[in-house]
A and B are shown apart, each in its own frame.
Chain A
Amino acid sequence: MKLAALVRELEKILGREAVLWRPNDVMLYEYDGLSSLRPPDVVVFPRNTLDVVRIVKFAAQHKLLVVPRGAGTGLSGGSVPWQGGILIGFARMKEIVEIDLENQRARVQPGVVNLDLSVAVSDAGYYYAPDPSSQKACTLGGNVAENAGGPHTLLHGVTTNHVLGLEIVLPSGEVIHTGGKSLDRPGYDFTGLFVGSEGTLGIVTEITVRLMRKAEAVATLLAVYDRIVDATRTVAAITARGITPAALEMIDGFTLRAIEEATHAGYPMDSAAVLLIEIEGLKEAVEENSQHIESVCQENQVRQVRRAKSAEERELFWKGRKNAFGALGRISPSYYVQDGVIPRTRLPEMLEFIGQMEIKYAVKIGNIFHAGDGNLHPIILFDRRDENQSKRVREAAAEILSRCIDMGGSITGEHGVGIEKINLMPYLFSADDLDMMRKIKEVFNPEGRFNPGKVLPTSKMCGELRAEASVGGIL
């Protein structure tokens, strides 16, 4: 279909103000937090489920590719339309449809920003638990697609543990409803299958989520270390003691200095690492656990444990953590964030290994991550324009991830496979495992027109990307 005809038809369906097609306009949709590849042919902005159905049916009729996009904050290329086609932007589907506090549920359109939901129910004493670092910008639809995590998912679980129902438009245009406000809907758990399927099975048009009551008490500790290994040992010891903090984050000295210069969060500039530890629950439990944790820190040669004395100080501690990527962006032209997962007890040796990789490949790697659940975010700093450097980054990244796999871990804890890690899937899964996943995809998305070239390596994948998209290959 010619672009002019495509635009004309879509404008007929949605109105002129809901379709973008000029090169300067669609160019803004060729990237996410990982990289930019190529723009979609057109971008459309539905206002409701019916609009989405119309777009999808039109695409089905003309065999067009469809890629959904929330805020484009993803880090694995999940919303990048690298083969062109129609990009469905959810910027206009951002209504909180219902807040039902009595049943501890909310129904939202996929374009609702993560933090906006928590803000909307905050006065009533509730919040939505999964809190990706991009929560000020990222959408709940994107969170569902990638099964997003965040610092506070250590205690409460990730997106899949908080999404209870979905309205989904399948590539045929058929609309299905999974789960709902109540648990245990009879039938296969399609909600669980669709969360984290990265838009490759269907497009979510409404989400039912669990709202949680805010805890009575919160303690936020900043533990300061002179040696990284003491910080990682503390993490392993806290887990081994059976204490589950709400969040347990680690920031290494290099990264915290970059953060401190950018955000003035009050992190000590001369330390080797800090742990940001949050404990929440009943007052009594918070007191007990804080004391336990402090003594674990002391046993592991902590220099100092600071406890936030006010909500403002707590905010400040977190501000540094949540703005870390931006802070590193200030000091490096490009950076590549990884998302490997390892058993928590292996953190000390993994951090040592990452240190070795820095030397071996002559690259700078910052470490800031969800230590409590072993989800690493090594950030490799480089200059994209320098091909030799980019190559070393790719090699270092590959070696770190294969080490994660060797340790019994995973290549992604919360950022998704997307385009970025698609060729690593065979290292984690057997040909038979992948074959079953492909067959599942074919049930819902038989022509592969929904978000093509994501999650699963396929035989149809075009050659140039296959060669390129090894770890971080599209950097």
Chain B
Amino acid sequence: MTVAADSAQMALAAILGESQVVSEPAACAAWAVGGKIPKYGVEPPTAECVAAILKVAADHDLAVVPRGNGTQLDLGSPPSRYDLSVSLRKLNRVRHYEPADLTIGVEAGMKLGELQDFLGRDGLWLPLDPRGGATATIGGILATNSAGPLRLRFGSARDMVLGIKVATTEGKLIKSGGRVVKNVAGYDLSKLFVGSFGTLGLIVEASFKLFPRPASRATWVLEPGTLGRARDLRGRILNSPLEPLRMVLLDSGATGLFRQRTHPGDEPELWIEAGGSPKILERHAKDLAEIGQSMGVASHQMDEPAEQQLWDQLINFERSLAAVHSEVMVMKAALPIACSEQFLSLARQAAEGDGVNIAGIAQPGVGIVHLGVWGEKLGEVAAPLVTNARKSAESLGGALVVEQYPAGFEGERDVWGAPGDLLHSMRGLKAVWDPRGILSPGRFVGGI
């Protein structure tokens, strides 16, 4: 074993230089994923280096987990084995930028916040508000298809990617798509890689289409009183001509959590953000007030200083929960859009029945619901709660994944649920890209 490890380390050193292959246990501990600590850690400076490292890893059977800024690494199952941490932090350059064409190509390690700052000079942005917000890297966002409430208006990273470059376990760099906004030449590997959790190859570079940043933004809060009325309200807004940027529904647990200081109530709230010229914002204000009035629901505009902070807290749901409660579990359901409110109420019943607390945030325009659960009995009830919540989601035509188990959870984890009739094809693809099974092993659906 030692000999094998040494030769692997030497091969890595041959690419990066000896000092660049970290193997001190204390340093490696910082790269732990799912409780597993790697033997080595590297931060390759170029895409070519990443490819060369993957080849070495494949040759020496080193299990690799890629890392950007670590904001999405809680997602997915813990790796079944883990020898080498490959950080893409140093790959943080802009590769091409055509502001007048509204396109950009960047390396995977670039942080979303850095990218937005860069684009902001030209009044542009990449309209994503994923978990981890500005600190998430492009590679991490793509690998997990992490998307926040802006998805209502703009879709997710999947819909904005024009092309990608990936490093493979054969040590090659493969490209798909390109840098123009429309392109159907060849298979769309970008789609395959987005959301593949680092199990097929490492995304080292991606091109995106860009959008003009809204001139101004404003958020309104409506308090429907019950989830049933929230459902009607959401239906009316989606059927109105309004074109909000974001819309979220906080259940009573979530309003208690996020609005404690500013707002004593614990009833559901619907937050709606719009963007554009003053006239467009006025129109949203007027129509939302009218829709609210027609249902006897008051609406008010959120105070500006608190507004962005509240949205940021909401997007970083896990962190916000962890700041208040030491042990939390977070689940994400993806549902047909009209089922969000019903799912929230089913989940609340289940949690209360199990004697734990729950906070739910829905993006009811796209059918995504995040649930945070905490309480003394969490360790005991976590596993059955996941099973029940998943059953509810599936019975409504959706699916559920566990984004975070409680710290120290000892029971059996079922992050993803059953893979349906796709497992055979998924394994086939995995075998093509990663025949030795060294990339993020065990992290993905069906144990892939």
Which of B102, B238, B242, B367 is in CB contact (< 8 Å) with A239?
B102
**A428 located at the interface, meaning its Cβ lies under 8 Å from any Cβ of chain B in the complex:** yes
Give A159 Cβ to nearest chain B Cβ, in Å. Answer: 9
Mark the stretch among B169-177, B216-224, B254-262, B311-319 that contacts chain A: B169-177
Give A360 Cβ to nearest chain B Cβ, in Å. Answer: 25
Please report whether the interface of chain B is mostly helix, strand, loop or mixed according to DSSP.
mixed
Give A280 Cβ to nearest chain B Cβ, in Å. Answer: 10
A408-439 vs B: 1/0 string, CB under 8 Å? 11111111110001000100111011101101
Mark the stretch among A53-61, A193-201, A315-323 that contacts chain B: A193-201
**A396 located at the interface, meaning its Cβ lies under 8 Å from any Cβ of chain B in the complex:** no
**B124 located at the interface, meaning its Cβ lies under 8 Å from any Cβ of chain A in the complex:** yes
A129-164 vs B: 1/0 string, CB under 8 Å? 000000000000000001101000100011011000
Give B438 Cβ to nearest chain A Cβ, in Å. Answer: 17
B399 touching A158, Cβ below 8 Å: no
Give A236 Cβ to nearest chain B Cβ, in Å. Answer: 6
Give A417 Cβ to nearest chain B Cβ, in Å. Answer: 6
Nearest B residue (CB) for A240: B100
**B428 located at the interface, meaning its Cβ lies under 8 Å from any Cβ of chain A in the complex:** yes
Nearest B residue (CB) for A441: B187
Given A242-B124, A343-B103; A414-B187 close (CB under 8 Å): no
Given A147-B184, A213-B238, A416-B184; A103-B336 close (CB under 8 Å): yes
B123 touching A216, Cβ below 8 Å: no
Given A285-B276, A370-B182, A413-B183; A183-B366 close (CB under 8 Å): yes
Which residues of chain B are within 8 angstroms of A181 by Cβ–Cβ distance? 336, 397
B368 touching A184, Cβ below 8 Å: yes
A343 touching B185, Cβ below 8 Å: no
A429-466 vs B: 1/0 string, CB under 8 Å? 11011101101111110000000000110000000000
Which residues of chain A are within 8 angstroms of B282 by Cβ–Cβ distance? 284
Give A248 Cβ to nearest chain B Cβ, in Å. Answer: 12
Q: What number of A residues sit within 8 Å (CB to CB) of B? A: 91
**B195 located at the interface, meaning its Cβ lies under 8 Å from any Cβ of chain A in the complex:** yes
Which residues of chain B are within 8 angstroms of A443 by Cβ–Cβ distance? 425, 428-429, 431-432
A413 touching B397, Cβ below 8 Å: no
Docked Cα-Cα span, A416 to B433, in Å, equals 25
A313-337 vs B: 1/0 string, CB under 8 Å? 0000000000000000000000000
Which residues of chain A are within 8 angstroms of B242 by Cβ–Cβ distance? 282
B168 touching A178, Cβ below 8 Å: no
Mark the stretch among A9-17, A31-39, A169-177, A256-264 that contacts chain B: A169-177
Which of A185, A196, A412 is in CB contact (< 8 Å) with B187?
A196
Docked Cα-Cα span, A147 to B398, in Å, equals 25
Docked Cα-Cα span, A410 to B432, in Å, equals 26
Which of B191, B283, B419 is in CB contact (< 8 Å) with A192?
B191
Which residues of chain B are within 8 angstroms of A242 by Cβ–Cβ distance? 102, 123-124, 211-212
B280 touching A284, Cβ below 8 Å: yes
B397 touching A437, Cβ below 8 Å: no
Closest 9 CB pairs of A and B: A192-B191, A242-B212, A216-B241, A240-B100, A443-B428, A184-B334, A413-B182, A103-B336, A410-B183
Besides the contacts A183-B156, A375-B182, what 5 more A-B pairs have beta carbons closer than 8 Å? A103-B337, A182-B336, A184-B332, A188-B445, A436-B174
Enumerate chain B interface residues (CB-CB to A < 8 A): 96, 98-103, 123-124, 145, 155-156, 158-159, 168, 172-176, 178-192, 194-196, 200, 211-212, 235, 238-239, 241-243, 276-277, 279-280, 282-283, 332, 334-339, 366-368, 397-399, 401, 416-417, 419-422, 424-426, 428-429, 431-433, 444-446
- Please name 9 pairs of A and B residues whose Cβ atoms are closer than 8 Å in the assembled complex, sorted by A: A180-B397, A192-B191, A196-B188, A216-B241, A239-B101, A242-B102, A283-B241, A345-B101, A417-B184
